[in-house]
Amino acid sequence: MPGRTRPIENFAQAAAKCSAEGAVYGKCISANYQNVSKDMCAREFMVLKDCYLKAAGKKA
């Protein structure tokens, strides 16, 4: 399918722009990965998601 980018590729590109935020989130989880509870890293995730939404929005 030439000319059409799959949604997953857009997603991957936008997520790649937020590797710093992703790393902070990943560190938060891996610091306590044997005892993860819901919304344990909600703050870090929201930062990551905001960055992702910004990156994804700019492209469109």
In the list 9, 50, 54, 59, the residue contacting other proteins (rule: CB under 8 A) is: 9
Residue type, 43: R
Taking the complex as a whole, how short is the minimal distance between the CB of residue 57 and other proteins, in angstroms?
14
CB atoms within 10 A of CB 7: 8
CB atoms within 10 A of CB 57: 9
Taking the complex as a whole, how short is the minimal distance between the CB of residue 28 and other proteins, in angstroms?
9
Cβ proximity of 41 and 7 under 8 Å? no
Contact residues toward other proteins (CB under 8 A) are 6, 8-9, 11-12, 15-16, 19, 21-23, 25-27, 29-30, 33, 36-42, 45, 48-49, 52
